[in-house]
Chain A
Amino acid sequence: RKEVEQDPGPFNVPEGATVAFNCTYSNSASQSFFWYRQDCRKEPKLLMSVYSSGNEDGRFTAQLNRASQYISLLIRDSKLSDSATYLCVVFMGRRALTFGSGTRLQVQP
């Protein structure tokens, strides 16, 4: 079983739609959680951290469910510029980040 699992997609949605991605992780001792965004042939960039209480940054909302070991990302009012791959990332302590293989989002006009 992979340490971090994501649905690879692609998710094809129209502009203005709301879309949600889930991610599950296997290590219950995982400490920190993030969503990174990666554009085609570019490096990953931090989108947002994920806190137990949930957090929101503009159109983006991240949630953490420790009991079920999953995290989610909700994007409201999708823009064309949101098209990218979204990487779920977990920090398990004393080592570097563990990345999921990403969920590809394609927002269409």
Chain B
Amino acid sequence: DAMVIQNPRYQVTQFGKPVTLSCSQTLNHNVMYWYQQKSSQAPKLLFHYYDKDFNNEADTPDNFQSRRPNTSFCFLDIRSPGLGDAAMYLCATSRDLTSGEADTQYFGPGTRLTVL
């Protein structure tokens, strides 16, 4: 059974048209992450939530926002997508950040965003 679900799997949007990607999890994990991965590059962390505590990476553009209305769901909003935002967006979860060691991250299948 899928534990981290992302919808849609493929999203096409127009330059400048807002888009929302969604992620849900059945693991009841405290932490949810959003990564951006471009072709042949490492996944790049955009932000993460520890419960409701939002943590933005310093170099994440303001164009990217996130919401976590409850434990199970997390959304990535791209307010005005540019051509450079075309990428795979990966959602991941883990149990806890406070243990001193990293817990395993479980990734969703990703949403591939195309910007026309």
| A residues apposed to B, CB below 8 Å | 4, 8, 31-32, 34, 41-46, 87, 91, 93-102
Contact = CB atoms under 8 A, between A and B. Distances in A.
B42 A31 contact: no
Contacts of A31: 100-102
Given A43-B110, A44-B90, A44-B107, A101 B100 contact: no
B108 A97 contact: no
A99 B42 contact: yes
Given A45-B107, A101-B41, 5 more contacts: A31-B100, A93-B100, A95-B45, A95-B55, A96-B97
Nearest to B44: A99
Interface of B: 31, 33, 40-45, 48, 55, 88, 90, 97, 100-102, 104-105, 107-110, 112
18 contacts: A4-B42, A8-B40, A41-B88, A42-B110, A44-B90, A46-B105, A87-B43, A91-B101, A93-B100, A94-B97, A95-B45, A96-B33, A96-B45, A96-B48, A97-B45, A97-B105, A101-B40, A102-B42
A32 B90 CA distance: 21
Contact of B90 (A43, A91, A93): A43
B33 A42 contact: no
Q: Which label, helix, strand, loop or mixed, suits the secondary structure of the A interface?
A: loop
Given A42-B109, A43-B108, A43-B110, A99 B97 contact: no
A93 B55 CA distance: 14
B16 to A, nearest CB: 26
A45 B45 CA distance: 16
Contacts of A101: 40-42
Contacts of B90: 43-44
Contact of B109 (A43, A91, A97): A43
Contacts of A100: 42
A4 B41 CA distance: 12
Contacts of A32: 101-102
A97 B48 CA distance: 11
